[in-house]
Each structure stands twice: as structure tokens, then as C-alpha cells.
């Protein structure tokens, strides 16, 4: 069955990645998780974002198999948690992820969080080795600040593709996004709807009404209309899954983009774990 929506790709340094992915963190009903992932693939998603820490890799593998799609047609991202930053632990984590999903490789492998207790060179070496061994086609980092990103790019023996960061209409990330642009990296936006915080915003509601769209669609459209960004929103129903991918056939005007950008002054950070957060770049 042909998908109802064709998601365009973002091209970065010759790599093509679907602009909208399906995030698989925090499924409250595990028994439905594989069914939702399968449903996402059937309605047009070709990009699935998971992580060892999410506990969703088993369902990702099951959803992919149930979809009947060819492996080459699906972009799969997973991540190695900071608890596995040592080289041997890192390799075991990658092997476990692949075995759990029933895959031979992932399209993108990320360092989930920086780990200050382990030399970055060791973790980056393990990350690069996973690519050299064919276990990951592309590699990158997640939740890295400007300083950490500069260090990672300088020390990694393989090119990095992306920095996955918290980015949505309620947080300003100009500094780290500028660093990504400087290094030619894609910005992957996690929690792009601020875990629902933006969906009741009156500015987004007004813009949504003028386009006959939802506030979530406007918030996601604002992100993907920016250069070099992809989004990986989570959704817990098929109606939300369809809504989050239906972002094409309309454009936000420059004035609308500016209005949404003004909401970032709230500077609301949703993902801020005290046990592993770096010193964030403000703005």
C-alpha cells in the first residue's frame, strides 16, 4: 500500500534523511507500541528515532518487520547512553541495540548525552569504530553544547552528521545551532512540541486557524522551514501520528515565522536532567 504522505528528505553532505521522523520515547502502553510504529510507517514515516535508554528498540524492530517495508527504505536512529561511554561498554550497547531490533546496521548512531567522567576521545573512538565496522552508516551526538560540539568535531576520526538537541517554539538555541552550521551539521529536534506545552499557545492557534491546521502542525512546520533541521515528534495515537506528518502543501509566511520565533523568549527547557546535564548555552 502506498503511503498517504511522502515526506521529503533533507540533504546534508550527500546524506539524505527524512525531514520528519517518529520519536519512540515514553510509550505508556507498551503493548501498543509496535502497532503504532507499524502504523507510522504505513502512513508515510520513513524515519524512526529510538535509543537504548528509551526501551523501545524491541518495538521498533517489531514495527519494521510488521510493516513489510524494505530495510533500505527506513531510516533508523538509535543512541548509546552515557552509562556506556567506555569503549567496550559502547560496543556492547551497539551490539545489543542491533540484536534487539533485529537489524544489521542503523542509519544513524548517536552519543545520547555527554559523559564528563570518561575522556571524550574514548567514546568518540568507539562511535567512529561502529561506523568503520558497518554497524552505523552515519554517526553524531545529542545534547552537546557549543564547546562540547567543537571538541567532538575536532577529535572524531569520522565526520559527524548531526547534533540532536531540544528545540521547539519555546526555547532559544541560536548559539548551538550556529555551531552546528559552522561545522556543517544537521540539527535534529527532539521534544519539538515541548511535550505538548506549545499546543495551546494563542499565537500558534491564530496562525493554525488561518491555514486550517492544528497548533502542533504549525509548531512543527516552523521548525522544518528552518534550514538544516529535522524533527522527531512522539505521538501516542494514529490521529496524532497522521497530524504530525501532514506538514506539506502549505508554507508559513516570513511574518508568521517571525511571530513564532518570538515565542522562544520564554526559554522553557523541558529536558534538563540534573544528573547528567552539561552547562547549557543560553540563547
- Residues serving a catalytic function are 54
Largest CA distance in the chain: 54
Long-range contacts, 150-158 (Cβ 8 Å, 24+): 150/179, 150/183, 151/120, 152/111, 152/120, 152/124, 153/183, 153/185, 155/120, 155/121, 155/124, 156/124, 156/127, 156/128, 157/124, 157/125, 157/128, 158/127, 158/128, 158/131, 158/132
Question: What is the C-alpha to C-alpha distance for residues 81 and 52, in angstroms, rounded to an integer?
Answer: 7
The grid coordinates of residue 19 equal: 525531514
> 552515519: which residue's cell?
138
Question: What is the C-alpha to C-alpha distance for residues 208 and 210, in angstroms, rounded to an integer?
Answer: 5
Let me know how long the chain is: 283
67: Cα separation from own chain's centroid = 21
Within 102-172, where are the H helices? Answer: 120-132, 146-155
Amino acid at each position: 500500500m502506498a503511503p498517504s504522505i511522502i515526506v521529503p528528505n533533507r540533504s546534508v553532505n550527500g546524506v539524505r534523511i527524512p525531514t520528519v521522523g517518529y520519536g519512540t520515547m515514553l510509550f505508556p502502553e507498551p503493548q501498543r507500541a509496535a502497532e503504532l510504529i507499524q502504523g507510522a510507517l504505513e502512513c508515510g514515516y520513513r524515519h524512526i528515532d529510538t535509543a537504548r535508554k528509551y526501551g523501545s528498540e524491541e518495538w521498533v524492530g517489531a514495527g519494521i518487520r510488521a510493516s513489510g517495508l524494505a530495510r533500505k527504505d527506513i531510516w533508523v536512529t538509535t543512541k548509546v547512553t552515557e552509562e556506556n561511554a567506555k569503549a567496550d561498554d559502547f560496543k556492547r550497547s551497539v551490539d545489543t541495540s542491533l540484536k534487539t531490533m533485529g537489524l544489521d546496521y542503523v542509519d544513524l548512531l548517536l552519543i545520547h548525552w555527554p559523559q564528563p567522567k570518561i575522556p571524550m576521545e574514548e567514546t568518540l573512538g568507539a562511535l567512529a569504530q561502529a561506523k568503520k565496522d558497518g554497524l552505523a552508516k552515519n554517526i553524531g551526538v545529542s545534547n552537546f553544547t557549543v564547546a562540547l560540539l567543537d571538541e567532538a568535531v575536532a577529535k572524531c576520526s569520522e565526520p559527524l552528521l548531526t547534533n540532536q538537541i531540544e528545540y521547539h517554539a519555546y526555547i532559544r538555541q541560536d548559539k548551538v545551532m550556529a555551531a552546528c552550521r559552522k561545522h556543517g551539521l544537521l540539527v535534529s529536534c527532539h521534544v519539538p512540541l515541548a511535550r505538548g506545552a506549545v499546543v495551546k499557545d494563542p499565537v500558534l492557534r491564530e496562525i493554525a486557524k488561518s491555514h486550517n491546521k492544528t497548533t502542533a502542525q504549525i509548531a512543527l512546520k516552523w521548525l522544518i522551514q528552518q534550514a538544516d533541521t529535522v524533527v522527531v515528534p512522539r505521538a501516542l495515537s494514529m490521529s496524532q501520528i497522521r497530524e504530525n506528518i501532514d506538514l506539506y502543501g502549505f508554507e508559513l509566511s516570513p511574518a508568521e515565522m517571525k511571530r513564532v520565533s518570538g515565542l522562544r523568549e520564554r526559554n522553557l527547557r523541558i529536558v534538563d536532567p540534573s544528573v547528567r546535564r552539561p552547562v547549557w548555552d543560553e540563547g
